[in-house]
Amino acid sequence: MPRYKITIEYDGAYYVGWQRQPRGLSVQQAIEDALTALHLHPVEIVGAGRTDSGVHACGQVAHFDVERKWSCFHLTQALNSFLRDQRIAIIKTEEVSPDFHARFSAIARRYEYHIISRRAPLVLELGRAWQVYKPLDLEAMQKGAAHFLGFHDFSAFRDSQCQSQSAEKTMEIADLQEIRGRYIFTFKARSFLHHQVRNMVGTLKLIGEGRFVPDDIPRMLESKDRKQAGPTAPPDGLYFMEVIYPT
């Protein structure tokens, strides 16, 4: 059976998250329903990572096996036709080797988080960024983010329901830029804990407000205590940007 890899974009505000849930429509279910309708037999897909309700994706990746061989162009077009009423788009389809695995073959994942500072309500960006009403201290947040780089136990930044066996991760990129009142946080690692990015951003935002200082981050990491770090940022501003595989 041929195996295909798809790169997916979606607006997470319309779904209960990536993974199938007992109640509500997930991104996974919407794509599986499209594939099943297209092939007239059940098709299961495997994603590179899970996203919560409200979290968006520009570069989620999944793989699946089907009995029929397709040209990648026509499979992309067919899937997007079935998904035309959804807030989901298949950006690219590739035929891959049978040993490719969307999750386990990945060597890194990249996320962005967007905060917008302005007094006026968000209109075009509503549901796509975390709005704050005062400027944040960019330099302080950048110094705080730098403490996340390298190998650490991120227990203080994991959700209590996280199922990962280990909280030890290596952060390759922890960057922050500001463009006309938009703060863009970028994080890259092989894998992330549940809510890790949102918990790091929630903490950095308090640094930007002066409620923490950058050197509080090492203390939080050392404590391994979730209560020592900042709150969980809302899902609206989080984007699953890219999954990286060996070349």
CB 237 within 8 A of CB 246: no
Residue 81, Cβ density class (10 Å: 0-12 exposed, 13-18 middle, ≥19 buried): exposed
Hey, what are 242's tokens?
């890219």
Active site residue 52: yes
CB 244 within 8 A of CB 59: no
Report strand pairing: 88-96 vs 56-65: unpaired
Q: Could you give the 3-state DSSP secondary structure of residue 218?
A: helix
Report strand pairing: 182-189 vs 238-244: unpaired
CB 147 within 8 A of CB 156: no
Q: Could you give the 3-state DSSP secondary structure of residue 195?
A: coil
Read off the DSSP letter of residue 204: H
Residue 137 half-sphere exposure toward CB, CA atoms < 13 A:
17
Q: Which residue is catalytic, options 11, 52, 137, 153?
A: 52
Write the single-letter amino acid at 21.
Answer: Q
How many residues are listed for the chain in this entry?
247
CA distance 167 to 162: 9
CB 246 within 8 A of CB 190: no
What are the residue numbers of the active site?
Answer: 52
